[in-house]
């Protein structure tokens, strides 16, 4: 079953000028990863340092493989941009609501 992952990010103010290019590079790898169905980046209109990365995955197993790859050698450099730890939440589509 497909899953949606929300990665809530708070960037350091000083990283705002370089963040778009860094995120573009990071997310090109994410989009190419097996099972990734798409990625969007939402920017808070009231706080440009607050982003939500919305990732669509073919399954939770695909998402888990991606997270393991990032943790085990596919490091992205994202941490250098962040003012706080990222918050990851997984969602499933509920067709009965």
| pLDDT tens per residue, range 52-63 | 999 999 999 999
Residue 90, helix vs strand vs coil: strand
Number of domains in the chain: 1
- Rounded Cα gap, residues 25 and 1, in angstroms: 28
Q: Does residue 97 sit within a domain?
A: no
User: For the domain that residue 49 is a member of, what is the CATH number?
Assistant: 3.30.70.100
Q: State pLDDT tens for residues 46-88.
A: 999 999 999 999 999 999 999 999 887 656 778 889 999 999 9
Q: Is the pLDDT of residue 1 over 90?
A: no
pLDDT of 77:
78
Domain residue limits at 82: 3-92
Terminal-residue alpha carbon distance, the chain:
17
pLDDT of 74:
58
- Full-model pTM: 0.90
Q: Average the pLDDT over 15-44 and give the result.
A: 94
For the chain, what percent of residues have pLDDT higher than 70? 95
Count of C-beta atoms within a 10 Å radius of residue 97: 4
């Amino acid at each position: 079953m497909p899953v949606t992952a929300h990665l809530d990010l708070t960037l350091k103010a000083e990283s705002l000028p370089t963040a778009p290019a860094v995120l573009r590079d990071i997310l090109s790898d994410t989009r190419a990863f097996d099972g990734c169905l798409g990625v969007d980046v939402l920017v808070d209109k009231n706080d440009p340092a607050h982003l939500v990365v919305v990732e669509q995955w073919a399954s939770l197993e695909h998402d888990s493989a991606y997270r393991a790859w990032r943790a085990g050698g596919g490091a992205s450099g994202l941490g250098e941009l962040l003012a706080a730890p990222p918050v990851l939440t997984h969602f499933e589509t509920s067709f009965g609501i």
